[in-house]
Amino acid sequence: MMSNHNSNVLVLTFWSYKDALIQTYTLPHLLIMQKYLPEKSKFFLLTLEKKQLEMSATERQQTEEYLQNNGITLISYPYQNFGFQAILTWIQIIFRLFFLIFAKKIQMIHCFCTPAGVAGYLLSVFTFTNLLIDSYEPHAEACVENKDWKRESLKFKFLFFMEKLMSKRAKYIVSATEGMRNYAKIKYNAEFENFFVKPACVNLELFSEKNLRKTELMNKFGFENKIVCVYAGKFGGIYLDTEIFDFFKVAHNYWQDRFRILILTNHKAEEIENFAKKSNLDLKIIQTCFVFHSQIPDYMGLADFAVTPVKPIPTKRFCTPIKNGEYWALGLPVVSTANISDDAQIIENQGIGSIIHEFSEQEYLRVVKQIDQFLQENSPKKRYQKIRKIAEQYRSFDIAKQIYQKIYGK
């Protein structure tokens, strides 16, 4: 609990302002926190801007005005890949933030994910400021399991070492899953006094029945009387690529011309075409588009079911896919890989989708048949009513409100 006078907060992220993780995850949480902070308290939000998500001068001005009106000051630096240039940039960032903490009487350094927690830890030590790690999950080991990094690499050793330090120093930990408590004890030798569990919450007003099957969009894509599968996100990295297109191929063989795929992504069309060709998948059944997040609910709402193709590596047991909450809020059954967050177990236990346990044609067919049976046995209205309740139970912002009230409440 923070003091009852001016309680400014420094919020550190590793994301660009336009990134969905800022728009749908960070900003809504800041607005929730604000309700519990003393009046006139301010947030100072750090973003790292990637070139492809760069704001125009007009967008920047409008963004800053909007944020200032909500008590948030935006601090942006260019994103740099790990290396010498990134180290120089971070020295500059930490130097500036060091003085900002004293000048603005910052009382909490609130970090989203452990990469941002590295700077948060250093600043916390230098300035004796309270540290909070939000969305706390393993990042260093996840990068090794994804084969992005090697275990003997400097990147891994540095981040894993810093994860240990920040875990032991943080006054508050907000994790996606309860299982992360035990992981931290084993891997980091860290135990916590203030440990909270908050999966990726979703604005249930933005994703609701009003977004389902909008006639104009259904006609635009020719989705009437089709079975539509939606995926919002990327391929590669922490997500499957070839395997999920192989799954789509089996689904197309099963449903024939009734099957359609809607991919909401910023991948280039050629990349999607290459994945499809590798799996011998007919390009005519795929609709690919990039839409702003404000339009995502209407596009997701065109589907009959969704996929969450997170690679089933051990550390993903502790993550929290935001998209699952969005799918559930729209009443969509989900096809997921196994052991992802608590979500895979919820899907299986509640019978609201299907879990891929191995990457084989036989397994994909079993999953497709299970989804087909669910769609046949449940009308769109019944699906919505059944699955929406899961979103309300596991993904409501009320979960975040209770946690942030305990941390920031007067």
192-216 pLDDT, tens digit each: 999 999 999 999 999 999 999 999 9
- Burial class (CB within 10 angstroms; exposed 0-12, middle 13-18, buried 19+) of 213: middle
Integer Cα distance of 78 and 162 in angstroms: 22
Regarding whether 114 and 263 lie in a shared domain, the answer is no
Q: What number is the average pLDDT over the span 368-387?
A: 97
Q: Is 352 domain-assigned?
A: yes
Q: Is the pLDDT of residue 367 over 90?
A: yes
Per DSSP, 340 falls in state -
Q: What pLDDT does 98 receive?
A: 97
- Provide the 3-class DSSP secondary structure of residue 31: helix
Q: Tell me how far apart the alpha carbons of residues 397 and 410 are, in angstroms, rounded to a whole number.
A: 20
- Compute the average pLDDT of residues 97-116: 96
- 334 and 241 in a common domain: yes
State the pLDDT at residue 127: 97
134, 174 in Cβ contact below 8 A? Answer: yes
CATH label of the domain that carries residue 387? 3.40.50.2000
Domain that holds residue 336: 209-394
Region 208-234: mean pLDDT is 96
Same domain flag for 52 and 189: yes
Both 177 and 217 in one domain: the answer is no
192 & 213 share domain: no
In contact, 202 and 393? CB cutoff 8 Å: no
81 CB contacts (<8 Å, ≥6 apart)?
none
Same domain, 143 and 258: no
- Residue 389's φ and ψ, nearest 5 degrees, are -60, -35
Domain assignment of residue 1, yes or no: no
Do both 275 and 400 map to the same domain?
no
Q: Using one digit for the tens of pLDDT, what is the confidence trace for 127-151?
A: 999 999 999 999 999 999 988 899 9
* Helix boundaries (H) for 263-396: 269-278, 296-300, 322-329, 343-350, 361-377, 380-394
User: Residue 63: is its pLDDT beyond 70?
Assistant: yes
Is the pLDDT at 68 greater than 80? The verdict is: yes
Residue 273 has pLDDT above 90, yes or no: yes
pLDDT at 1 over 70: no
What is the arithmetic mean of pLDDT over 219-247? 95
- Is residue 367 a part of any domain in this protein? yes
> pLDDT tens digit string along 348-365?
999 999 999 999 999 999
Q: Are 111 and 219 part of one and the same domain? A: no
Amino acid code (one letter) for 269: A
pLDDT of residue 24: 84
Q: Across 24-28, 200-204, 249-253, 318-322, which has the greatest mean pLDDT? A: 249-253
Q: For the chain, what percent of residues have pLDDT higher than 90?
A: 86
Is 2 inside a domain boundary?
no
Closest listed residue to residue 126, CA positions, set 147, 106, 142: 106
pLDDT over threshold 60, residue 5 = no
Determine, yes or no, domain membership for 125: yes
**Do 228 and 137 share a domain, yes or no?**
no
- Indicate the number of domains in the chain: 2
Q: Are residues 197 and 309 in the same domain?
A: no
How far, in Å, CA of 202 to CA of 206, rounded? 8
* pLDDT value, residue 177: 93
Decide if 313 is inside a domain.
Answer: yes
User: Looking at residues 48-73, what average pLDDT do you find?
Assistant: 93
Q: Is 200 helix (H, G, I), strand (E, B) or coil?
A: coil
**356 occurs within a structural domain:** yes
Mean pLDDT across 206-235: 96
In this structure, are residues 200 and 176 in contact, taking their beta carbons and an 8 Å threshold? yes
- Mark whether 28 and 176 lie in a shared domain: yes
CA separation for the pair 232, 300 (Å, rounded):
8
227-232: strand order across its sheet: 286-289, 259-264, 227-232, 305-308, 334-337, 353-356
Give the pLDDT confidence score for residue 335 in this predicted structure.
98
Residues 102 and 171 in one domain: yes
DSSP code per residue over 256-284: GGGEEEEEE-SS-HHHHHHHHHHTT--GG
What's phi and psi for 224, nearest 5 deg? Answer: -60, 135
